[in-house]
Amino acid sequence: MYEDKKELDNKVLGVVNTYIRRVESLVGDRIVAKIYGNGSVSLDHVYTVTLVIPDAIASPRYPDMFMDQIVASFTFKTFPGNASIQIVSNAFIQYKYRNRGIGTLMNQCRIDIGKALELSALMCTVASYNVFQLRIMEKNGWTRSYTLKKKGQNSEVHIYIYDLTGD
């Protein structure tokens, strides 16, 4: 466990910064990372990592909002009762940047953050209709550990685990 939030922030930012140039080359524009945390180094810390194009033109629909163009984003949250497991959620690649390898890079970034934080495992869920994310999980070493039917719907959710103990 980290004694100080700055140490934790620096580990996460250090990993994310190693991916910035590679994403820039795929996007063709300058990228900056924005990392938002809940300010906690306790068992319930949460991080959202967002890569953005600074100074992009605001949407006419939201003139005072979204001044930055989001390229990719994901969230880390501590698994309740076990700080050595992080739940990865809200993995997102802006539609116009898909099929360029950014999803695969962001997946590796999440894994590298897990290693830097000395975690045991990462865990996430993927809906069966999310073929892009399913492909990323399958080709990058995640293990599908369980599939469940969404109650009242005709779809499934897959639970994936990435074991960091063998790396």
pLDDT (tens digit per residue) in 91-128: 888 888 889 999 999 999 999 999 988 899 999 999 99
Integer distance in angstroms from the first to the last C-alpha of the chain?
20
* H/E segment holding residue 48: strand 46-53
pLDDT at position 4, please? 54
Pick out the chain residues at pLDDT < 70: 1-8, 37-45, 55-68, 167
Q: From its phi and psi, is residue 81 left (phi > 0), alpha (psi between -120 and 50) or beta? A: left
Model pTM?
0.83
- 21: helix, strand or coil: helix
pLDDT of residue 158: 94
